[in-house]
Structure formats: structure tokens, C-alpha cells
Structure 1
Amino acid sequence: MENIDGVKRKQKPFLGQKAPTGYVPGLGRGATGFTTRSDIGPARDISDPTDDRHAAPGERTVGDQLRKQLLEDSDEEDLNDTNFDEFNGYMNINLFRGSAYDKDDKEADEIYESIDSKMDERRKIYREKKEQEMLQKYRDERPKIQEQFSDLKRELKGVSHDEWINIPEVGDGRNRKQRGFGRYDKETAIPDSIINMQRNMTQITNSIDKNVQGGTTTTLGGELDMERLGKARNQIMDVKLKQVSDSVSGQTVVDPTGYLTDMQSMLPSYNGDIQDVRKARLLLKSVRETNPKQPQAWIGSARLEEVVGRLAEARVLIMQGTDKCPKSEDVWLEASRLAPADQAKKIFAAAVAEIPNSVRIWCAAANLEKEKKAKRRVYQRALENVPNAVRLWKAAVELEEIDDAKELLTRAVECCPSSAELWLALAKLETYDNARKVLNKARATIPTDKSVWITAAKLEEANGKSERCAIVIKRALEALRANAVELTRDEWIKEAEKAEKSGAPATAQSIINAIIAEGIEKEDRKHIWMTDADECIANQSIHCARAIYAFALEDFKNKKSIWLRAAFLEKQYGTKESYDNMLERAVKACPREEKLWLMGAKSKWQQGDIRSARGILEQAFESNQQSEEIWLAAVKLESENNELLRARQILARARTSASSPRVMMKSAKLEWCLGELKNAIKLSDEGLAKYPKFDKLWMMKGTIFLQMKDANSARKAFAKGIENCKDSKPLWILLADLEESEGNQVKARSVLERARLKNPASPELWKRAIELEKRVSGNEIADRLLSRAGAMQECAASGSLWAEAIECASRPARKTKSIDALKKCEHDPQVLLAVARMFWSERRINKAREWFKKCTKIDPDFGDGWAFRRRFEDAHGTEAQLQEVTSACAKAEPKHGERWCKISKDINNWRLKTTDILPLVADRCPITF
């Protein structure tokens, strides 16, 4: 083999040889094999006609035949709509024209449809949720203009009449040249057409027909005389009324004396398209003529004429309807509505003659009467004709006095024995013994009505026999089941809530006890019962919730979660005695639950019973000797009541028998509070030797050194604490504050930078650094640092940083910044507080009060919110509002907040209570940003 240069090369040994068995080209590079025409043969069958499209013109015989055949087939196709089937398509070109649609095909289609529907159902929830999220996002990003200014519109209700009147008119903002002053002044003459129009408007001519009143003519010209115009109008109206009343037939559909009064009750003239009225009138006329016995046709015609202001025609039409449809209640009622008051009585008289058993007509006729005696007479006649109408009996009883009503109800239950309302009304008017007899008769007459049994239980409770309520309710369930009446648990719970709201708590609790366990599996009882109790509490049905908890505690005697729920219910809605009794039962059932012991001791302490509180804690020690919370609660009880020696002894025992970091910290803090600084440092050293990772001991030790004016020792303590607790942000902040107080701002900045490197996602460190730059370098560097903190993904949702951003923003930009903050941190108390302060600075008092309330409601433990709210109410509120804030704060007992902790954790204020700390913090809260 020669190459291009003519040099012979040795041929490769594999060229021209047969490939090995199973060889697939390119398999090593990921190929799976190739298929060529040589593998599958030619593209058409041997018997197929050859393609002679490119043959000579004289040789295209087969191609011409094929083309001709195709043209003939296309002509034979019938593409008419009658030849098209929605399922099979066109009949002559259907792919499966020769096959029949059998059961297998139908079954396959049903299977595919079920699969498609199931897949669509599985994706439906996700798809709807995604659509809702996208819609909400779109509405949040593009709010309507009316939503943006809704708060401003609501504030307009506070604008007084004088303020509204004194709003200045909008002036022309253009300059003098643009307004046309100076050399641009122009004057334009008034056109003659405007002058003539003004002249014509000042003249009014009103005349009366010469054939009326002797042919007098009244003309008002020149200036408009309203007095003379009114007299002329009354004169014309009087003439028209007399013409109508003096007609040849002697009858009229117009009441001359009450015409003007009746006109006031008419609807205003029709302002729509008159062509539509004509079409409707023709249509209704056709219906009346086609089917004159159709009541709705006459009613519709009359109402159409009434709408367009033709009241007389409406009355005529509806009276014709009463002639054509004398047995229709609706026609008679419509006729009485359109007729004047005196004629309506005649219409009702004719109606009851035609339909004496119509309850609606009798009630309408009675309502037409103004005197009670006349109404009573109508109902008596009605009951003579329809003695089994419950509605008539109830209306008649309401008009009678107690004694007469009792007699009437006695007759009513005889005529309508299946009406439970009449039986219950009669029982309500009777004495206790007679009421029991009445209810017994009612139960025998109506054995399937539950209201009779519940009323019987209420009767027993109202007469001081609450123990019989459970018996009555139990018999009620048995009787109803015997009569095949099955009510669900939810229906019975609703009845119990109704009974409680009607003032029958014992009946409500009896119902709960009887049905609460019906139809529930044992493993689902606790969850379902707690859910039912929560729903009852939400509906303010406290007795029902209390009964559910009592029943649950009988079944789950040692469940501490149920005891806690029941205790909190009594604390919020019960009395002090019921709360204490509940806690006594709880600690007996769950002696290991320290929270129940602490709640009981705190309750006694708040009531001023120190001895009982001490006794509860002593009992708690016996059951929980190693409980840190109980030891510290005992120390707090003694220290708050000036039993300092007992507090020291308890702490000494706790350090030996139940030593913990918090016990060591409380021991050192007690010595610190008493002024024994050396003992406090000694105890803190002992605690740090055991628990070097407890940062609060390092913080306490350093702060004590600062109180002793030993800055170097404090610095060493903070530095040592940072070595052991690198994640403790308060230690870094304390060290930075120390350096700043010593005048080392650069070192303080470096401390905070190192702290942020160790804790990059700490909003507290970023905020402290921003505050440092504001004090040292100014707002420009602080704004840059704030932008860096907000740009970090970890701190983008920090409420403290957003609140700082609102405070640092300029006055016009605060609202936009507040909206952005609320989008990121909608429920953050610091953001809500910043928004409230913004409204306060803008003197929007009502808005600021609303946002202060939101802040304290969403996080009652945030002390800064309470302090700012008190400062606000002190400046703009009343004494009652100020007292409300103080009492609510004392109930919440807040523990957190930057400004709050500076005062509450000051060692000089360790004896102060919440009500004492609140005004101190409020006095240090700035009014504006």
C-alpha cells in the first residue's frame, strides 16, 4: 500500500478481516449498536411498484396510475359533518374502521380515565397551593392604590366639621407668566347665546287651563317667587284630585286625602330604557292572556308598573289577578301591599273568604291592625278556621297576659300536640310540679324530640336539684335510642354549649359526661377530648371544657399535660379556691411534675400566704430532691420575704445535694446583692472550677470586678470567659463595652469584629457594632455597616436590625422601610415597636396606640414594648389607659428586652417588682427616634 508520497507502508493486520462475533462498533465509547439499511433490507417490499417519478416522460406509467388512484380516493372521501363521529372520527378514513368497540376497549378507556383523574387529584392540592402563593405574592408586590391609601382614608373619620370646612382650596401652582398675568393678560367677551340663556332662566311662566277655575291664568315672570310658585302647584294638584274623585262611575283608585302621603312611599321613577319596559309589558301581557290562572304573571305585571311609577295601573292589574287566581296567597298579599291601608282590610276580607285556611293571609291581616284588641280578634277568627296552625297559636299567645296565655297554650297543645315549642312555652309558665307534668305529657306525645328532655333537666337545675340532671339526660339518651333517634357527639356538644349559655351549667356538664366517650377508640380519646375542650374554650363554654377535663382525668389520672391544661383553665376562668384545689389534686396524681408544685407555691405566695407556699415547697422537696427549679423557687421565696439567712442555708444545701451551674450562679448573686463582693467572687470561682463553660458566671465575675473599680481584672475575666465560651455573644459585648468605657474605641471595634468572625450570623453583634459606629464615627459608617448586616443571608430576617434600619432611615423613607421590614418580619415585636414609634413621631396617636398594643400582644415577654407603651399612654392616654397598661404588664411579667434588662438586672434593683421596674424603664425611653 502506497501513501501520497509513494512510500510503501505495511498494511494493518485487522483491515479487511471479518469482525469477531458479538462485536458492536463504538461499544467502548458508550454506543449500543447501529442499525443500517443493510441490516433491515430495502425500504419497500419487492412486490411494491417502482418509483418512476424521475423516469422519462414516456415511461411514467405506474406513477400516473398511483396519482390517479389517489385523486379518485380523495374525491370519494366524504368530509361532511354528518359523516363525523366524535369518538371514531370520519367513517371512511378511520384507522380502526373494521374493528368494533367491545368491552375490553371500554374497560381500558375507563382504566386510563381513572388513572388520569387520580394523578390530577394528587397534583390538585399542590397546584392550588402554588397558585395561591403566586397570587398572594403578586398582590403583595403590586397592591392596589385603594389598599395603599386605606389607612389614610380611615383616618378621615376623625376629621371634625370645622377642620373639613377650613381645608384650603388647591391653588394654581404655575408661575405668574404661565397663569397669564402681566403682558400676557387677555380678555374675552361673553357670547350672546350665554346672555340670552341666562335671561330665559330667570323667567318662569305657569298657567292653568281656562276651563278650570273660571279660566284664570297665573304668570310668574322676572325674579323667581318661591311662595307664589308653591301656591300655584298646590292649586293645580287640588284641581286634579277633584277631577279624579268626581268621575262618572263614582269610584276612584286615588285617595284624595292621603295621596301625597302615599306618593312618598312610592319608588322613584324608572330611569332605565323605556324599550325594555315595553318589551317586558308585552311579554307579561302575552303570559296573562295565554295562562290567566298563573299568579306570577299578574304579580310580575303589577310590580313592573310599580317600578315605572304607574301605581294605579299596578293596582288595577293585581285586582284583576285576584279575580283570575282567587286561590293564590301571593296574589292577595301583593294586592294588599299595593293598596292603601283602608282598602287593604277589604282585600283581606275577600281573601279569607276565598282561602280561609291560609296562615300567611291571617297573619298579614293581623299585622295590618294597630290595636292589640283588633289583632286578638283577628287571631281568634283565624284559629277557628285553622286550629292546627302553630304559627297562629304562637302569635296569639304573645298578645295575651300570663294567665290568659296559659289557658291559650293549654288549648294550643291540644290542637297541636306535635309542636314541642308550645309544650315548652306552657311548661315555662307553670309551676315546678305542673311543669314536670306538662313535660311528661310532652315526652309521651313527642318521644323523638331531644329539646323536651333538655328542658326537663334545666327545670330540675333551676329548682335546686342539679343532681337529677344526670339522671334525666341518661334517660333521654335511652329513650331517643329506643325511638331510633341517633345524634352525633358534635350535636350533643352543641346542645351542651347552648344549655350553658342559657344559664344551666349543670345540665351542660351532664350532657358532656353522658356522651363524651361515645364512639371513640381508646387510643384516640386523649387527642379528641383535648380538641373538644379547646373548641369549647374558644366558644366561651367554660363549664363544658371543665367537664371534659374532669372526665379525661378520670380516664388518664397520671397525665401531667391534662392536669396542666385543667390548671391553666381554672387560673384563667375559675376562682382562686378552684385553682388551688385543682393544683392540690394535680400534685397528688403527678408528684414528679415540678411545674405543678411551683404553680401551687406561687399561687399561695401571690395570695400572701407565705407559710402555705413554704409548706408546698417542702412537700415538693420530698418528691423531687434533685430538682433545681424547686431549690431555686425556695430561695426566691425566702429572699423576696427578707428571710436572707434561710435563703443562704437553702443555697448551701443545694450546692451539696443538687449542685448545678444555676445554683452556683444564684449563690454568688445573692452574696452580690447583699454587698458581700468577696464572697460573691469566691463562689463564682468555685462555680467556674466545676462549670467553666457556663458563661453567666464569667459575666457575673467580670461585672463584680467592674463594680469594685478593677477594670484589668474584669478584662481578664471576660477574656477568660471568651476562651471557654466562644459562642457567648453577651461576653463579647461586655468586653467591647468595657474597652469603649476605657476610651479604647479602636480596641472595642476590633473585639466586635472578632466576635462577628466567630459568630457570623449574630444580629446582636451587628447591632452593637452599628451603635458603636454611631457614637464614634457618625451615621455614614453606621449606615454602611447596617447595609452589610442586612445583605447577609443569615441576618436578612432579623427584627432587631430591621428596627435599627427604620430608626436610622430619613423621615420620608421610614414608611417604605417599615413596609419592607413587615414583609420580612411580620410578627417580630421589635419591628412592631419601631413602626409604633414611627407613628408616634408623626403624631398619629390612634395608629401608634394600635401598634403598641400589637407589639405587647404578640410577645408579652418583651419588656421594651411595655415600657414604650407606658411612656406613650403617660403622654397621650388617660389614667384608666395607663392603669390598664400597668396591670397587663404585671400579669405578663416580662423578662427580655435590651432596655428592660438594663434596669431589671441592675444589682441595685434586685428587690423591685414588675410594677416598680416598668416606670423606671419607661422614663428612659425616648419619645422620638
Structure 2
Amino acid sequence: MASNKQNKLAFLSMPAPASYVAGLGRGASGFTTRSDIGPAREGPSAEVIAEAQARRGEEPDYDPEQFQDPDNEVGLFAGTTYEADDEEADKIYEEVDRNMDARRRARREAREEAELAKHRAERPKLQQQFADLKRGLSAVTDAEWESIPEVGNLTRKKRKRDERSFVVPDSILVGDRARGEYENALDPMQQETGGLVTPADGTMTDIVKFGQARDKFLSVRLDQVSGTSTTSGSATSVDPKGYLTSLDSVVIKSDAEIGDIKRARMLFESLVKSNPKHAPGWIAAAALEEHAGRMVQARKLIKQGCEHCPKSEDVWLEAARLHNNHDAKVVLANAVQHVSQSVKIWLAAADLEHDTAAKKRVLRKALEHIPNSVRLWKETVNLESSAADARILLARAVEVLPLAVELWLALARLETPERAKTVLNKARKAIPTSHDIWIAAGRLLEQEAYAAEGEQDREKALAQVDKTIEAGVAQLRKHQVLLTREQWLREAERAEGEGAPRTSEAIVKATVAMDVEDEDRLSTWVGDAEAAEERGRVGTARAILAYALRVFPDRRELWRRAADLEKARGTAAALDSILERAVHCVPQAEVLWLMWAKEKWQTGDVPAARAVLEHAFVANPESEQIWLAAVKIEAENGELGVARELLVRARTVADTERIWMKSAVFERQQGQLDTAFQTVATALAKYPKFAKLYMIQGQLHEQRGDVAAARAAYAAGVKAVPKDVTLWVLASRLEEADGKSIRARAILDRARLVNPKNDVLWAEAVGVEERAGGVAQAKTMLARGLQECPDSGALWTLAIWAEPRPARKARSIDALKKAQDDPLVICTVARLFWAERKVEKARVWFGRAVGANADIGDCWAWWLKFERQHGTKEHQDEVITRATAAEPHHGQVWPAVVKDDRNRGKKIAEVLEIVMAQLK
């Protein structure tokens, strides 16, 4: 064993490898030898330093980190691992530190605030010191501002004065003294002659006349500048008032622009020299000179262009443009010698003539050179003043150009109806592929039909229109002219726009069913009718729907759409005819019967409305809506006994919950409260889940003043129908009216638990807090409601008005982002513009509000109130008319006003006035 141990430790006595570096594996760095730093003297070694310290009695300094392994930790628990227990302990210590800090935080913050307040009280800012003075400046008047003296120099510092002085030379003093003197003596050398001698002719020169001439010349120049001349008395060419304005019209080119013009000129010169047959180069070069203001040079260039490019019509036209009228005629006269087949040059030459006869001569000369130009023939015909001359020209034109459809149609329009038929027949034979000729033939027949006296003759002629268009479509298909259905519909709309509705209808009949699958016909035709109506082509839309009704006579939605079209765009007779056909084809469509009866009633024909409803009873004996419509007609016309009898019969024949509810309401309106109570009780026994019956029962008890019974009715209602929000609101308002706001809050809290995310309940809760005087509680409730219902227009409206005036605009922007299509929010934005006196913007936003939802009556009332303050009579009448057509039913104030017994039977315009008066 000793030998084995000796073998194991034998490596200790072995020499180290040549590349071995001690400690390199543990991260030790290399060392530097003398060979690295050069032949310098080596310092004392560590042993020598230690021996010297021992002789002096000093203890050696030990570095505590000299024996520390850098790869290991340093500390008390070096070498140990960081476990989960250690992490938990550290978290506990940190939590303790946070708790201790929180315990002291309140006292520390209070102490800091007190110190800060004390510091600000002792040493306030300049802004705080002058705050009261700045507020007082708002009361300073303009006169007081103007009377404030100038500040001046308040620094109390002596300004330095430049007291240096300089000696003025004598030459300056003498020269300044002699500057104002006049010479009144002649030169002694000229005294013998008595004056100045002119070397040229020896005559005497009078200096006084020189001065007078100079003064006169100066006065003339001044008069010219002022606009008058004293010598001739006529106006000068200088306009003193418009002189500066004329200077503004002068274009002053910058250096950069001048440089660009020079470079462009060099390029164009190179272009026309390298390729003189290139006409656009000459045109561009001349345009450049025109832009630079060198018209003479531009005309020279374009003249050279005409010489080099005589066959280019653009060069000749540009040359004519650059010259005046007389020279342009000469240029175009030379042009027609080189380019006699150019229509543009002949038309330009005709435009230069101011006399009609001269224009005719030019155009007829042009037709001699270019007889096959349709444009030249049209321009020539347009110059003729008499129809006979134009007819002769067109007859010649169609002989020369038999394929010109426009010329044939123009000739047919100038002929009599009989001769026009002959012309169109010739045109059809000459051009069998033109659909315009067939449409023109249909329009001609339609005109003859309207000119006919008898009704039968008119109908026969109109039938010929349909046959002609149908035959035209067939002939065009035979000649492989395949127009698409969309193209034919556009032709129908064009014919309607040109005053030919029957031709448009005939085109629709012949082509609307082309290339449409059987299963897509209804949706396609409805879409075509809507598109035509949007473009204002009501006749085309009516024809499309009429064709669709012939194919689908049993579709009630199609009849309803046709009736709506006639109601919006047609006449009362057309609407009556449509509804009569509709109820005949679809007798089970209750809405069509009701529309027909309503139209009769609104026109004042009550017996006809009753007759319509009688026929409706026969077709729909158990229809709830027809029974109620009959009751409404009788009640509105004062036949209360008949209305009550109808309700009794309706409860027997059509025993529905709504009829029972209407019966109770009718008795309440007539003041028969006992009968109303009995009716409601009987109805509740049959329909215990109908919420409106509980509402009527509670309102009847409120009308009698029995709050306890009303409370019991509402309690039974919310128990039977907990999902009906209106019942909860009525119960809450009953408690609030009884002075018990706490119970009202409790009811709304229960309602929100049963009906979460309901903005009506949140808005009612906010209203309860506001009416109770708790503004802070109302804001808190509103914030909670917006968190639960972030897209509610009613809540955002309350939020906008809850803000102070400067912050409402920003709040409205947030509301539009969250509920941008809500009519209440849009109406609120309109009211904000109204408050800011931005009338036009407010009017636009009110229009957007009713456009988003026309069923909100409050929006119409706000708009009318706005127009009553800022609008004209036309604006007010427009709002009332649109509101009457919309027939609104909803809102915050509108339903209560409409259902009030005192407002029974009032029209929408009257209800608008009442709602407008209640709005705040």
C-alpha cells in the first residue's frame, strides 16, 4: 500500500509543463517579466521588504483580500447557496421596512407640508405677492390705462456722459459759412462785355431767364406727377392713384428664375437645332420666351417652327395664339394651305371671325376640304338662324355622313312628326347597330301619345312605345349589339331626365330582367330601385318596382317599399292606387291596410278610412292592430260610444294583452277610473307577465292619491316582470315624490342588480342624486355608470353637462369617440355650439342628430327651440315639416307629453311646442 501511495504522489516531484501558468484555470492573469519592460533596475523583493520591516520592529501589512478567491463569494456566509428560505426572509424584512415607512409617512408628509407652508408664508413668491393686484387690474378702465405715466429711468444710476470735445478745422467752418451765400457779381474778366459770352454764336445769355425756365420746367413735372398739366390742360399718362398698383402687377423675376430661364433657353435652342422637325420643341421654346416677356422673340421662334414643321397643326395654332387677331388670320390662312385637313385649324379660323356671315364662309370652305367631319357639320348647322336652312344642311350632312347618329337625330328633331318617322326609319336602316335611334323613336311616339285627345288613343300610343323599345332590343341582339343591363338602366335614367318617363319605363320593362339569376332577381331589382331613387330618378325606380311586383305580387315587403316610394316622392293618387292593389294582392298584410286607412284619414276622408278598416276586418278578423286602428279613428272623431263598443268586441274576438291595456287607457282618458281598475284587474288575471298593466294600475292609484296602493302595484310588477326597466323607474319616482329618496336609491340599486349594464337605470340614479342635492354623489354615480356602460349616449350627455363650461368641449370629444353615432350626444354637441353662438355649426349638428335617429322627439324639440331663437320662418317650418313626417315616439320628455291625457288628439306640431317649452 505504501508503494501505491508513493506512486500516486509521484507527480508532485515532476517538473511543470512548459505552457503551465499557475492559477490560470481559476482566472489568474499573466505576469510581466523584465524582458517585457526592458533593462530597468529591479525593485526590492517582498522578502527584503519584510526583513527590513522586522529590523525596524514594524508589523507587516496584510491585505485581507490577497488570499481571497475572486471566483467565490466574499462575506460571512461565503460558499453557501441562496435558497427559497433566504428569499422568503428577505421579502419579510422588506415588507417590515415598508410597513415601518408607511407608519411614519403620514407624520413625515404632514411635517413637510407644514414646513413648506411656513416657508411660503415667510418667503412668498412674487407671483403670490402680486396676485391680488393682478386681479384688481380687471377693473381698470381704458382711460385709467392711458393716464398711467411713462416709467422713465428709475434705476437711480448716473448715466455716463460723453464729455469729449474735438477741435473743428477752420476749413469746415469757412466752407459752411460760404455754403449759404449767393454770388451777385460777374467775373471781372467779363465786365467789359456786359455779360457772359457764348463761344458758339457770341450772343448774350440771360441768367434770370435760365432760372425762370428752370422753375417752369419743375412746375410742369410736378403737375404731370399730380395728374394734370398746366400747359395743355389735358390728362397725362401718369396715374398717381394707380401708380403703386401698377407697380405691383409688374412681375420681377428672381435671380434663380432668370437662371432657370437661361438654362431652359439653352436646352430648347439645342433641341430645335438638333431636331428642327420636332414641333413640340418649337412650341416649348416660344412658350418660354412668352413667359420671359419677350413676345417678339417668341413670335420669331414660332415662325421658324411653322417653316420647319408646316404639317403640324399644333405649331400653327400656337402661332395664331401668339399673334393679334389680324395677324392670326394671316397665320391660319397660311396654315390651311399646308394642313387643309385639320378640323382644329378651320374651327380656330372661324372663331377669329366676329361676324356670323364670315364664320359661315369659313366653315363652308372647311366643309369643301373636309366633308366627312361631323363636328364641322354641327358647327355649321348651329350657326343657322332658321330651322329650314338647318334642315337643308342636315339633309346634306346625312347624305355625306350616313353613319353619323347625331346628325340623323338632329334632323329628326327638326322635322315634323310624320317626316321624323321617315328620317328615323332611314337612320335605322343606315345604322342598324345604334340603340339611340330606337330610343329616339320611342320618345317620338310618346310625344304623339301625349298630344292625342282621347284616352284610348293615348293608351294605344303609349303601348306602341313599349312595343318599339322591345323590338329595338331584339333587333340589336340580332345585330350582335349586346348592351349590359346597367347600360340600359342608365339609358332609362337619361330618358327620364330628358322628359320621356314612358320611354324610360319601356326600357326598364324590356331590359331589367337581362342577365339576372332567378334566385337573385328580387334583391337585384330592389337594389336597382334604391340606386335610381338616390340619384333622383323616381320614374325609373317606380318602373323597376312595378316590374318586380308583376313578377312577385305576393311579397308584402315589396309592396311596402313601393308605397313608401310613392309616399315620399309621388302623389296622393299614386299612393292610393298602389295601396289598393297591394291589399288586393296581399290581403293578410295588416300594415298595408293600416297605411291605406291612415292615408284616407289624414286626407280628411274618415268614411273612406272606416270602409278600408271594414274590409280589413273581413280579411283579418283577429288582427290586433286593425281593431286598435278602428278604435283610434272613432275616438279621435268623437265617437266614444262606438270606440268603447269596438274595444268590447275586440276583447272578445282578438283577446290580446295590448287590447286589454288600450281598453284600460281609454277608460282612464274618459275619467272612468272604476271601470279602468276593473279592466286592469281582469287583464292582470289573464296576463300577469304584461308590465304595462302594472304601470297603468300604479298610475291609477297615483291619480287617486293612494301612494301605498301604487307602491304595492309597482312592487307586484317588479316581482312579476323584473326585467322591465320602466317599472323600476316608476317605483323609484313614486318614492322620490313621496319624499323618500333613500328608498328610491335602494329600489334603483336592486334594479341594477337584476338588470346590469342598463344606462337608463344609471341615468335615473344620477338624477335622483342631483334632485336630492348631492352633486358629489351624482358625479360618483355617473362615473360608475360610465364604467359599466361606456357607450351610453344618455350618460355621456349627463357627463358633458356636469363639467364646468370650459371643460365641456373636451368632454364632448370623449363622448363622440365612445358613442359617436348616438343622437343624444350629437344633439348635446349641437347645443354646445348653440351656447357658443356658432349658429351654422349648431344647425348642421342638429341635422346630424335627427339623421342618426329621427324617432327621438327631444332632438326635434331642441332643434325647433334653436331655430326659434336664431333661425328664420323657413327654417322653423322645415323642422316642423320634417318632424311631422318622422313621427317620433321616444325621448326623455317626449313620451310623457304625448301620453298625457291633456294632450290627447294633438298633432305633432302642437306636441313639439309643449315639449320645447318643458326643455331646460
- Alignment pair present for 1:547 and 2:543: yes
Q: Aligned-pair distance for 1:664?
A: 0.8
Equivalent position of 2:616 in the other structure: 620
Work out whether 1:301 is the aligned partner of 2:301: no
1: CA distance between counterparts of 2:337 and 2:215?
A: 52
Report the CA distance between 1:436 and its aligned residue: 0.9
CA separation in 1, counterparts of 2:715 and 2:790? 30
Instruction: Report what 1:505 is aligned to.
Output: 501
SS at match of 2:805: coil
2:584 is aligned, of 569, 582, 588, to 588
State the Cα distance separating 1:425 from its structure 2 match: 0.8
C-alpha distance in structure 2 between counterparts of 1:352 and 1:424, whole Å: 31
Q: Which residue of 2 aligns with 1:879?
A: 873
Deviations 1:386-443 (A, max 9, x none): 1111111111111111221111111111122211111111111111011111111111
Pair 1:355 & 2:322 matched: no
Confirm whether residue 635 of structure 1 aligns to residue 631 of structure 2: yes
Distance 2:147 2:688 in 1: 80
Distance 1:267 1:418, change over 3 A: farther
One of 302, 313, 319 as aligned partner of 2:303: 319
Deviations 1:265-322 (A, max 9, x none): x995654433332332222222222221111121111111111111111100100111
Partner of 2:49: none
Alpha carbons of structure 1 residues 706 and 318: separation in structure 2 relative to 1, 3 Å: same
Please list, as runs of the form range in 1=range in 2, the aligned pairs for 1:342-491 lying within 5 A after superposition: 342-401=326-385, 402-464=387-449, 465-491=461-487
Distance 1:662 1:615, change over 3 A: same
Q: How many angstroms apart in 2 are the aligned matches of 1:555 and 1:188?
A: 108
**2:77 equivalent in structure 1:** none
Structure 1 equivalent of residue 172 of structure 2: none
Q: Report if aligned partners of 1:269, 1:308 keep a CA contact under 8 Å in 2.
A: no
Distance in 2 separating the partners of 1:471 and 1:717: 71
Deviates more, 1:222-231 or 1:506-515: 222-231
| From 228, 231, 248, the counterpart of 2:225 | 228
Which of 724, 727, 734 pairs up with 1:728? 724
Alpha-carbon distance in 2 for matches of 1:550, 1:614:
28
1:624 Cα offset (Å):
1.6
Deviation at 1:181, TM superposition (A): 5.1
Q: Which residue of 2 aligns with 1:183?
A: 154
Distance 2:214 2:265 in 1: 39
Q: 1:745, 1:185 → 2: CA distance?
A: 72
Q: Secondary structure at the match of 2:503?
A: helix
Q: Distance in 2 between matches of 1:842 and 1:478?
A: 65
Q: Which of 705, 708, 711 in structure 1 is aligned with 2:701?
A: 705
C-alpha distance in 2 between matches for 1:887 and 1:525? 36
Tell me which residue corresponds to 2:205. none
Shift of 1:477: 1.5
Post-superposition offset of 1:844 = 2.1
Give the conservation status (yes or no) of the 8 Å contact 1:336–1:348. Answer: yes
The verdict on how the C-alpha distance between 1:311 and 1:417 changes in structure 2, with shifts beyond 3 A counting, is: same
The residue aligned with 1:574 is 570
- Tell me the distance in 1 between the aligned counterparts of 2:891 and 2:810: 25
Distance 2:423 2:912 in 1: 63
Residues 1:912 and 2:906 aligned together: yes
Is the 1:270–1:309 Cα contact (8 Å) retained in structure 2?
no
Q: Is the 8 A contact 1:903 1:909 kept in 2?
A: yes
What are the residue-to-residue correspondences of 1:160-239 with 2, within 5 Å? 182-183=153-154, 227-228=224-225
User: What SS does the aligned partner of 2:893 have?
Assistant: helix
Distance 1:488 1:905 in 2: 55
Q: How many corresponding residue pairs?
A: 702
Distance 1:56 1:224, change over 3 A: farther
**Superposed displacement of residue 224, structure 1:** 11
1:270–1:307: 8 Å Cα contact kept in structure 2?
no
- How far did residue 912 of structure 1 move? 2.1
The corresponding residue for 2:513 is 517
- 1:467 Cα deviation (Å)? 2.1
Deviations 1:356-384 (A, max 9, x none): 22111010011011121211111121112
Residue in 2 that maps onto 1:126:
none
Deviation of 1:727 after TM superposition, in Å, equals 1.5
Percent identity over the alignment is 44
1:907 Cα deviation after fit: 2.2
* CA 1:182–1:801: 2 relative to 1, 3 Å: farther
Give 1:882 deviation, angstroms. Answer: 1.9
2:258 corresponds in structure 1 to 274
Amino acid in structure 2 at the alignment position of 1:821:
A
Between the aligned partners of 1:347 and 1:889, the Cα distance in structure 2 is 68
Specify the alignment match of 1:859 in structure 2: 853
Judged with a 3 Å threshold, the aligned counterparts in structure 2 of structure 1 residues 225 and 616 are, in CA distance, closer, same or farther, namely: same
How far off its partner does 1:741 sit? 1.4
Question: What pairs up with 1:651-666 in 2 under 5 angstroms?
Answer: 651-666=647-662
CA distance in 2, matches of 1:175, 1:789: 55
Aligned-partner Cα distance in 2 for 1:268–1:462: 60
State the AA in 2 paired with 1:366. A
Q: Write out per-residue CA displacement over residues 205-245 of structure 1, whole angstroms, 9 at most, x where no aligned residue.
A: xxxxxxxxxxx99999999959439899xxxxxxxxxxxxx
CA distance in 2, matches of 1:269, 1:429: 57
Equivalent residue number for residue 84 of structure 2: none
CA–CA distance in structure 2, aligned partners of residues 224 and 710 of structure 1: 106
**SS at structure 1 position matched to 2:598:** helix
The verdict on how the C-alpha distance between 1:695 and 1:182 changes in structure 2, with shifts beyond 3 A counting, is farther
2:792 maps to 798
Corresponding residue for residue 763 of structure 2: 767
Q: Offset at 1:608?
A: 1.4
Per the alignment, in what secondary structure is the counterpart of residue 456 of structure 1? helix
The Cα shift of 1:850 comes to: 1.9
Match of 1:285 among 253, 263, 269: 269
- Residue number among 333, 336, 349 corresponding to 2:320 in the alignment: 336
Gapped regions of structure 1 (runs ≥ 5): 1-54, 58-170, 190-215, 233-259
**One-letter amino acid matched to 2:640:** L
Distance verdict in 2 for CA 1:305–1:683, change over 3 Å: same
> 1:891 aligned to 885, 902, 908, which one?
885
Question: 1:867 Cα deviation (Å)?
Answer: 1.2
- For the pair 1:742 / 2:726, whether they are aligned, the reply is no
In the alignment, the residues of structure 1 paired with residue 918 and residue 753 of structure 2 have an alpha-carbon distance, to the nearest angstrom, of 33
State the shift of 1:468 in Å: 1.5
Matched letter for residue 271 of structure 2 = V
Matched, 1:815 2:809: yes
* CA deviations over 1:813-862 (Å, ceiling 9, x no partner): 01011111111111211111211221222222222222222222221111
Q: Distance in 2 between matches of 1:649 and 1:904?
A: 25
Give 2:727's aligned amino acid: L
- Cα RMSD after superposing both structures: 3.1
CA distance in 2, matches of 1:185, 1:221: 56
Provide the residue aligned with 1:100 in structure 2.
Answer: none
The residue aligned with 2:529 is 533
User: TM-score when scaled to structure 2?
Assistant: 0.73
Amino acid at match of 2:372: N
Q: Give 5+ residue unaligned stretches, structure 2.
A: 1-16, 20-141, 162-212, 230-242, 450-460
**Secondary structure in structure 2 of the residue aligned to 1:567:** helix
